[in-house]
Structure 1
């Protein structure tokens, strides 16, 4: 009996193997098809970006050759003689205006000194612009590479204005900024923008509130919560201050901690923020302010898995925004956090293709389902053992090595080619295993194809001329945004576990 059982188990295993082999053979002969329809147009893209928090305050002071190379990786749009990209061509750079915790040192109660934020405003009320010289250097480098937009963001008001005299809150569900200091905070932000301008840096956008849904009572970084009514009052103060000083910088709100806070109601968190700030029937309406940006910003954290949440959250956001035709959506911060239902974990630095493919999936859905007009990664340069950086460095304040990641080059498959002013166009695929999106500026088309499968895929473009020969740039296990010839007689071969950008002129 035992022998008979083993025999049938053997036959079953053999049949499964044969079935899988036949399936693989069938798939290997299948040619996926893509149809481009550039007469159907969706959102216009504003930018792709990343943040200087918190490492650039040190990296900007590293030896010149190293920090120049890091800047080139982030901002350059050039290629070498082989066609490999020298950088990912970011078109927005986020600058962290710290709340003074760096100057407080250990008295800030922020444990990791790399998370302590520098400010030009000193504790004694005087100004010192040299305090931000590392960040100023990198922002100036971004400008030299013709980065379109600079965005200034703050996680906490300056400690001179907070309730507890430090840059993170002490009590849950309570803002660390009292109403008596709203005007001081507005003046401080206006001073900062004019100070940057005096150094040759025009701040396009200001984001005064970061993830106001969280309490920020731990000692990990600067931060404070805000209620919607508080955000509205402070924003009006900032707008008035900007008008008085003829500052053209646009105010970017609300930097929601999760995308669902933009459209869902909640009794515990400041939520339903699109309605609160941009519906004329709301008590907190801000849409008529001169300096409001009409771009609602939110973070993609905690909404990327499982698939039903990934798609459903973004579809709900898009459906809500359909009622506000003058608004755009910016996905303004993301890195890989948590365990994501077993799909991927945030802990552990990984320079390889696995986190890059996960990032690519999030970018694709933010752009194609939620209609994001901008997409921003969190840390441009990270010293941590975490999946939070584009470039990684030794945790050394004065010098060290740096390491490129597939996350960097995968973002480049989008950011390098989809430039500000490009618009998303309709692209259809008959293969659900491929994630495909398309963009154009009228003169050229950019098609990004994500193949997460562990096997190559054949791909054919429909309704193209017989002499169709696009340039193809690939990020994979063996390639970093490099030019490749992957065209066969009548189809293209996509490498396994890869992101490919087709440039069609």
Structure 2
């Protein structure tokens, strides 16, 4: 009874709802391949705060390979294509801190920083290289904070602001340019020492919160001020191709407020390639008002105990819950990138997609929710129009750069359905559709191939869609 009431309330909030007053046996799905929306950059995770080391040093060679494959392999896992590395700011690797590449505090902002590079970066160098072997496309380096000596509170934790941005003065001087140089030096170390191209660079993480771990405050006005120093510094140092990301607010509403403030500074928004926000305090359910690409760069179930289920009791951490969250962010907020907080970690909670405990690797239903998108919808894909005749059946569609069409169907209902998929204005060289099914019994399992019918440019296929499932149809 509780499930039925919840389902009815959930379905009532969804668009394109018909036939929802009683049981249905079929769902009509319409895809228009020429009605296009955002370009997809990918799906990903972070292994910051030494989580990469837990995979690198805490597992046997076999289990380590399994964890990497689950995260980054198209054949054996989710095929994730974005890795968000943390840029260190702490004086050491104590606890799970991220160590600064210039840990020694100089007397003033006019002093020369003493850089150090250990070739490991808390396991992130190794993790990045292993992920690239498996198809990783995007390496996003993101600072949670500047080093303590560059901030108003002289700590890399507990908030504080960059010395020199509006309203933040320090006796040691203006640290904006040294911090920009610091970020560029990190990019240089990865390129020149490790052969890794950092593709995206950011310097804030939840700047609306004061945290006991590495954290730094900023409003949108201050972000715009620093952006106008970082952007020309990258260009001057030969890294103008690196895309700048900002501003990583805690939730979608906070992100909208920061964006508005940043946009008041002429020219600042144009220096960005990606505007980013997190999904914690307010979920992504509306598009942000920006001409830049939008990423949701961190979100997780931080409260639930480890739950690997796809669909059990409708809990926050279950796989089908996250399949719906990703779908909503893609279709309602037009995001181009969606990242979970942690990929693999030694954790008793749901903050990771893969649990690493006692030398054993265990995937969650959340991982397979990501896989339903990320294995098939690749960087450069374009989201196209897709509609469902049944409110609790969510559908999204994408055309990859190679022309392959992917239709993702999430059946939140209690019954199996027959899906009649009608694809308009799309020409395929093949008449075969392959379904990949995820539910309580399947983890991206390849189903029986289906043949299309219809005229050229107007294809049709009839397929079974299991109850409480996610099916990725690949044409």
TM-score bracket, normalised by the shorter chain, equals 0.7 to 0.9
Q: Is residue 89–residue 103 contact of structure 2 (8 Å, CA) maintained in 1? A: no
1:449 aligns with 2:409: yes
Distance 2:388 2:232 in 1: 49
Distance 2:229 2:66 in 1: 41
Q: Which digits, 9 at most, give the CA deviation of each residue in 1:235-289, with x for residues without a partner?
A: 22222321221113121011122112233xxxxxxx2x333334xxx23641344
Q: 1:47 is matched with which residue?
A: 42
- Unmatched 5+ stretches in structure 2: 1-18, 106-113, 166-173, 312-317, 453-460
Task: Report the Cα offset of residue 299 of structure 1.
Answer: 1.1
* 1:222 match: secondary structure: coil
1:366 to 329, 350, 365: 329
Distance 2:390 2:246 in 1: 38
Task: Report the Cα offset of residue 151 of structure 1.
Answer: 0.4
Q: 1:93 is matched with which residue?
A: 83
Of the structure 1 ranges 376-385 and 187-196, higher mean CA displacement relative to structure 2 is found in 376-385
Q: 2:56 is matched with which residue?
A: 60
Q: 1:184 is matched with which residue?
A: 178
Q: Is residue 348–residue 387 contact of structure 1 (8 Å, CA) maintained in 2? A: yes
Distance 2:122 2:348 in 1: 26
Q: Which is richer in helix?
A: 1
Q: 1:201 is matched with which residue?
A: 196
**CA 1:240 to 1:488, structure 2 compared with 1: closer, same or farther past 3 Å?**
closer
Task: Report the Cα offset of residue 206 of structure 1.
Answer: 0.5
1:123 aligns with 2:83: no
1:32 to 5, 27, 31: 27
Q: Is residue 33–residue 423 contact of structure 2 (8 Å, CA) maintained in 1? A: no
**Number of residue pairs aligned between Structure 1 and Structure 2:** 418
Q: 1:283 is matched with which residue?
A: 265
1:71 aligns with 2:95: no
1:379 to 342, 347, 353: 342
Distance 2:232 2:162 in 1: 22
Q: 1:416 is matched with which residue?
A: 375
**CA 1:133 to 1:330, structure 2 compared with 1: closer, same or farther past 3 Å?**
closer
Pairing of 1:462-501 with structure 2 (within 5 A): 462=422, 469-485=432-448, 491-501=462-472
Distance 2:451 2:41 in 1: 35
Q: Which digits, 9 at most, give the CA deviation of each residue in 1:436-477, with x for residues without a partner?
A: 111113622101011122332221223689x96411111111
Distance 1:328 1:242 in 2: 20
Q: Is residue 300–residue 334 contact of structure 1 (8 Å, CA) maintained in 2? A: yes
**CA 1:177 to 1:67, structure 2 compared with 1: closer, same or farther past 3 Å?**
farther
Distance 1:184 1:61 in 2: 34
Distance 1:236 1:129 in 2: 30
Task: Report the Cα offset of residue 331 of structure 1.
Answer: 1.4
| Structure 1: 4+ residue segments shifted above 6 A | 486-490
Q: Is residue 36–residue 427 contact of structure 1 (8 Å, CA) maintained in 2? A: yes
Task: Report the Cα offset of residue 482 of structure 1.
Answer: 1.2
Task: Report the Cα offset of residue 422 of structure 1.
Answer: 0.9
Q: Which digits, 9 at most, give the CA deviation of each residue in 1:117-159, with x for residues without a partner?
A: 2333333744132451511101011222231110001111123
Q: 2:253 is matched with which residue?
A: 260
Distance 2:66 2:100 in 1: 26
1:251 to 225, 235, 244: 244
**CA 1:160 to 1:69, structure 2 compared with 1: closer, same or farther past 3 Å?**
farther
Distance 1:426 1:451 in 2: 18
Task: Report the Cα offset of residue 177 of structure 1.
Answer: 4.7
Distance 1:288 1:35 in 2: 36
Distance 1:424 1:416 in 2: 15
